[in-house]
Amino acid sequence: MKELELKYGCNPNQKPSKIFVNDGRELPIEVLCGKPGYINFMDAFNGWQLVKELKKATGLPAATSFKHVSPAGAAVGLPLSDTLAKIYWVDDLGELSPLACAYARARGADRMSSFGDFIALSDVCDVPTAKIIKREVSDGIIAPGYEPEALEILSSKKGGKYNIIKIDENYTPTPLEHKDVYGITFEQGRNEFKIDKDLLSNVVTKNKEIPELAQIDLIISLITLKYTQSNSVCYAKGGQAIGIGAGQQSRIHCTRLAGSKADNWMLRQSPKVLGLQFVDDIGRPDRDNAIDVYIGEEYEDVLAEGTWQRIFKVKPEVFTKEEKRAWLDTMEDVALGSDAFFPFGDNIERAKKSGVKYIAEPGGSVRDEQVIETADKYGMAMAFTGMRLFHH
């Protein structure tokens, strides 16, 4: 198949629409179920590149949860703690495969943003991973293959209309890529820049120590940023992104947005949130919404009379600002990547509030010394990569 006609483009009024390979080759994909649309394929191809690179860089199975051409989460297949399994709603599924752990992490980092995601997996989708996906609200998946039972499970989603794409993992795109804007064609070389541990060798702070696990987290953050709409910043910990700030016009807003998501990830693990008793018939999306309100500034809304009874068996105690701050102060050893240099030390100050200790950014700002000085104030280790990772 050399081209695939789509229902429409980004919006229903944008017709005709299709995908094809410019050099006339066969498309490297096979649609096994459903009818993916324009945005589905945009998410699928960006997500596939991300997980393919993560797998190559770390040697671990990788997964990402994409929404509107930016990742909501990305992770590698490290085992889940009991707490993470509980906050990701997979504690009832028994032992999970490494790939299933990767997707549980990618989906669970920011469950609000992952609602209705497009999934990319680095490896053949197995049954444990399919069982997680089966019960989540998702638009589709791309992977290099599917176990027969996993394909059967996924094909039953959405009344048999769930989008399932198989991609040829050996497909190599041409070195030049093109994009049309306002009838004008842009051409550029593909971003084939390799991200690995060697990129972290230029540590410019007084603290020069970046442990092995922190290096993996920094690599995850940088590869994630390579496929995130810029400006972008990514917090990572324990083998996964925990907060992604995408598409902001200022660097500090990226850092604040990603930091607030990282904080929410941490607050979900607090005893107060883990102790919430939901009514039996409330679904995962509604639980996620209730938790988001409970740990946010509008927590009084969910505790109002006539509201909490619809969600909780027992009225939750107020989660005070002081209690939340005390819990967040226990977060440590977080890694932070930025797709371009930090222009001011205020980004480092904000990062510190979310437990950041390790940083990777290109460097090159006229205020690099101020940024380094701020990192030194908190004993952080910061590497200058020398490479910008803008993505548009």
Kindly report, residue by residue over 2-52, the tens digit of the pLDDT.
Answer: 899 999 999 999 999 999 998 888 999 999 999 999 999 999 999 999 999
pTM (predicted TM-score): 0.95
Residue 392: active-site member: yes
**Which structural domain range is residue 98 located in?**
3-172
Q: Which amino acid is at 307?
A: T
Q: Is residue 119 part of a domain?
A: yes
Q: Is residue 127 part of a domain?
A: yes
158 with 281, same domain: the answer is no
Q: Is residue 389 part of a domain?
A: no
Average pLDDT, the chain: 95
Residue identified by tokens 């910008």 is: 388
Residue 347: active-site member: no
Name the active-site residue from 68, 197, 272, 353.
68
Q: How many domains does the chain divide into?
A: 3
Q: Is residue 238 part of a domain?
A: yes
CATH, residue 111: 3.40.140.20
Residue 156: DSSP 8-state: T
Distance, in Å, from the CA atom of 271 to the CA atom of 276, rounded to the nearest integer, reads 9
Q: How far is CA 319 from CA 264, 275, 279, 293, 330, in A?
A: 13, 12, 20, 11, 16
Name the active-site residue from 40, 46, 163, 231.
231
Using DSSP's 3-state secondary structure scheme, residue 324 falls into: helix
65 with 119, same domain: the answer is yes
158 with 249, same domain: the answer is no
Distance, in Å, from the CA atom of 96 to the CA atom of 125, rounded to the nearest integer, reads 13
Name the active-site residue from 55, 67, 261, 391.
67
Identify which of 93, 358, 126 has the alpha carbon closest to the alpha carbon of residue 236.
358
Residue 231: active-site member: yes
- Going from the first residue of the chain to its last (392 residues), give the mean pLDDT of each consecutive group of 10, the final group possibly shorter: 92 94 90 96 97 96 96 97 96 95 97 95 98 96 98 96 97 93 94 94 98 97 97 97 96 96 97 94 90 82 76 90 96 97 95 98 95 97 96 93
Confirm if 350 and 210 have CB atoms less than 8 A apart: no
